[in-house]
Structure 1
Amino acid sequence: MSDFVSDFMRQFGPDVSRQLSASLGVKPEEASRLLPQVIPMIMGGLKKQMETRGGAQRLDHILNKYGREDVLNDIGGTIAAKAREANPDPQLGGLLGQSGVQASQMFGQMLGLSSQKAMSLIPMLAPLIL
């Protein structure tokens, strides 16, 4: 997992941090510290769903629902679109469950975010990771 996180951070981290910073109104350094925490959480949820909730079919369903092949070509547009969602789902359906809400609240408190912005954080990042 750490190789994936390192590779993601090296290749996309600066751009994702900049865009996330602009959408949340936090410093880029603060946004960049969130990524290594959120990435393993989403990947762990994906693994658990695959192992306990339907194997490859479940994995395919989640990837089709939350991911897109071209999403990394428009990081800013993806984050901005997710930031505008009226009802963000930090649980990502069943992928993270209540852990997604709890993590969002914790990140929100760390960064001094409003509840709405805190709940948007994981949904903003999920398409980029998946």
Structure 2
Amino acid sequence: MAGEWDYTRTSIGTLSIWLGTGALFAPRAITGVLGVDGTAAQTDRALPLLVRLIAARNIAMGAALLATPTPQARRTTEVTLLLTLLDAAAVLVARRGGDVAPRSAGLSLAVLATTAVGTLRWHRR
């Protein structure tokens, strides 16, 4: 079990740091790739700040996962997965309002499914 948790926390932590770093330095490019309307991605003045705030959170959560020893990493992993779930839900709500592209909704559904499966699997043990 400890080996599985170590692999999980390392994978999620590393991915969070990489995605956060990309969004921190290229917030407009990241939003465009994720399906935000091209005009909004290039002209919205608040968008880079919001993306960088989320990026900083991802980097901090990734670092916390990598720094936390395996036995204590379960709670940190659960918090990270909860934040991922909330992010994905926000994208789905925005899609419903027509603010993001269908590919963002598809990606969000994949994230939601992965999060749900992972959470159920870990809580059964």
- TM tier, smaller: 0.3 to 0.5
Larger Rg: 2
TM-score by length of 2: 0.37
TM-score by length of 1: 0.36
